[in-house]
Amino acid sequence: MNGAESLVATARAAGIEVCFANPGTTELSLVSALDSIGGLRCVLGLFEGVCTGAADGYARMAGRPALALLHLGPGLANGLANLHNARRAHSPVVVVVGDHASWHLAADAPLASDVVAVAAPFSRWVRRSRSARELAGDFAAALAAALEPPGGVATLVAPADAQWEPADGPARPARRAPARGIGDGVEATAARLRGARAPALFLGADALGAEGLRAAARVAAATGAALWCETFPARLERGRGLPRVARLPYFPEQAALSLARFDALVLAGAAQPVAFFGYPDGPSRLARAESLVALAGPEHDAAGALAALADALDAPKAPPLEDAAAPPAPGAGALDPGSLGAVLAALQPEGAIVVDESISSGLGHFAAAEAAPPHTYLALTGGAIGQGLPCAAGAALACPGRRVIALQADGSALYTLQSLWTLAREGLDAVVVLLANHRYRILQVELARAGVAEPGPAARAFTALAPPEIDWVGLSRSLGVPATRAATVEELDRALRRALAGSGPHLVEAVLP
342-401 confidence digits (pLDDT tens): 999 999 999 999 999 999 888 899 999 998 999 999 999 999 999 999 999 999 999 999
Return the CATH number of 3-164, one of 3.30.70.2970, 3.40.50.970, 2.60.300.12, 3.10.20.30.
3.40.50.970
Q: What pLDDT is stored for residue 175 in this prediction?
A: 65
Query: In the chain, count of helices (H) and strands (E)?
Result: 20, 18
Among candidate residues 21, 16, 33, 59, the one with its CA nearest the CA of residue 399: 59
pLDDT digits (tens, 9 = 90+) for 437-475: 988 888 888 888 888 988 999 998 899 888 999 999 999
Tell me, yes or no, if the two domains 3-164 and 186-312 fold the same way. yes
What letters, b where the CB count within 10 A reaches 16 and e where it falls short, cover 391-401?
bbbbbbbbbee
Q: Provide the residue type at 176 as one letter.
A: R
Q: Where are the domains of the chain?
A: 3-164, 186-312, 337-511
Q: Which amino acid is at 451?
A: G
**Cα–Cα dist 121/382, whole Å:** 14
> Alpha-carbon distance 97 to 68, whole Å?
8
Does 186-312 carry CATH code 2.40.50.140? Answer: no
- pLDDT number for residue 179: 58
Q: Identify whether the C-beta of residue 243 lies closer than 8 Å to the C-beta of residue 214.
A: yes
Is 32 exposed, middle or buried (CB count within 10 Å of its CB: 0-12, 13-18, 19+)? middle
Positions in the chain whose pLDDT score sits under 50: none
Q: Give the CA angle between residues 230, 231, 237 to the nearest 5°.
A: 65
Note the pLDDT of residue 178: 62
Q: How far apart are CA 238 and CA 509, in angstroms?
A: 25
Burial class (CB in 10 A: 0-12, 13-18, 19+), 323: exposed
**Model confidence pLDDT, tens digit, residues 121-159:** 999 999 999 999 999 999 999 999 999 999 999 999 999
Q: Contact, 92 vs 152, CB < 8 A? A: yes
For residue 245, give the nearest of 311, 191, 190, 201 by alpha carbon: 201
Residues in the chain: 513
- Enumerate the H helices of 14-62 as residue ranges: 28-37, 48-62
Identify whether the C-beta of residue 284 lies closer than 8 Å to the C-beta of residue 278.
yes
Task: Identify the bridge partners of residue 97 per DSSP, sorted by sequence position.
Answer: 70, 157
Q: Determine how many CB atoms are found less than 10 A away from the CB of residue 469.
A: 9
CATH homologous superfamily of domain 337-511?
Thiamin diphosphate (ThDP)-binding fold, Pyr/PP domains (3.40.50.970)
Please give the pLDDT value at position 34: 98
Find out whether 266 and 284 touch, Cβ atoms under 8 Å.
no
The CA distance from 366 to 130, in Å, is: 49
195: number of Cβ within 10 Å: 9
Kindly compute the dihedral angle of the four CA atoms of residues 453, 457, 463, 468, in this order, to the nearest 10 degrees. 140
pLDDT of residue 176: 58
Cβ neighbours of residue 52 under 8 Å, at least 6 residues apart? Answer: 20, 68, 70, 79, 80, 81, 82, 83, 86, 93, 95, 390
Would you state the pLDDT for residue 155? 98
Q: Which of 436-458 are b and which e, b meaning 16 or more Cβ less than 10 Å from the residue's Cβ?
A: bbbbbbbbbebbeeeeeeebeee
